[in-house]
Amino acid sequence: MVEKKQRIIQSLQTGLGLLEMIAKERRPMNFTEIQQLSNMTKSNTHKYLMTFIQSGFLYRDPVTNTYKLGNKLIEIGNIAQRDTSIEIVDPYMKAFTEETGLTALIAIPSLDGPLIKEIWSVTYGIDIGAQNGTTLPLVSSTGFIFYAFKEGIQINNWIEQSFKILSYQTQQAIVHEIEQVKEQLFVAKTEPLIEHISSCSVPLFNFKSELVAAITAVGFKNLIPNDYHHPTAQKMIMLSQQLSNYFK
């Protein structure tokens, strides 16, 4: 019996191939580069790019006039991963909050910086000044993790914009401290979002040793460790190592 050939939408397949090509380059690309690599006409390239920009699948930087993956793809990818990644980390995060009495969250990359994907709250609750979908600033502990391990994720524009509003002294202090964060795989900060609250964060890596998320513990200042030798800090580092194995 001859297998019936499946019908496909050729233009959709072409567009998806274009997105995949841009994703594999792992860098912002200008129009000419995209047009030449895709072997499309300039007219068709422009139509596809404009369509993807309007739908949020691509983002065009108005300053450099380059194109990169948009937040809509990140959102869809996160939804696709939710059944696996969140189910995997959920019992670990719940156990961590019960053992430490701290609120915990996982933040993932987005074009606007670290995006809170999930929050695990302690039973009595604590106002951390954020919720699912909130993007966190560079000066937070989560922001420091994303800045320290930024290779492989598209947040350069967020970093540039964040640095513009900081004093030169603060910029230099951050650059200096980042080296310690890379070495210790841990950072603690007084949270800028709400008073009397501090946080500490550790990275999660994939099989390429690229940052895929950050785990952050949030609580009152006296409960958050400043030293990575502290038992709670070591617990977070071990948790990071355990969960990173699921992405390898």
Domain of residue 187, CATH code: 3.30.450.40
Strand partners, 213: 204
Calpha distance 70→91 (Å, rounded): 31
Q: Same structural domain for residues 19 and 138? A: no
Q: Same structural domain for residues 106 and 17? A: no
Task: Give domain status of residue 2, yes or no.
Answer: no
19 has pLDDT over 80: yes
Q: Same structural domain for residues 62 and 81? A: no
Strand partners, 216: 105, 201
Q: Same structural domain for residues 183 and 83? A: yes
Calpha distance 216→203 (Å, rounded): 9
* Mean pLDDT of all residues in 215-227: 91
Q: What does pLDDT average to over the chain?
A: 85
Which of these ranges, 61-75, 93-107, 119-133, 215-229, has the smallest mean pLDDT?
A: 119-133
Range of the domain at 151: 72-247
Token pair, residue 73, equals: 């793809």
Pair 189, 199: CB distance under 8 Å? yes
- pTM, whole model, 2 decimals? 0.66
Pair 67, 83: CB distance under 8 Å? no
What SS3 state is found at 120?
strand
Q: Same structural domain for residues 228 and 197? A: yes
pLDDT more than 90, % of the chain: 42
Residue 80: pLDDT band (50, 70, 90) is low
Q: What pLDDT is attached to residue 127?
A: 61
Kindly report, residue by residue over 110-169, the tens digit of the pLDDT. Answer: 888 899 988 998 755 566 667 888 889 999 999 999 999 988 677 888 888 899 999 999
Q: Same structural domain for residues 135 and 61? A: no
- Chain mean position to CA 36: 30
Residue 84: pLDDT band (50, 70, 90) is very low
Which amino acid makes up residue 190? Answer: T
Calpha distance 182→177 (Å, rounded): 9
Task: Give domain status of residue 243, yes or no.
Answer: yes
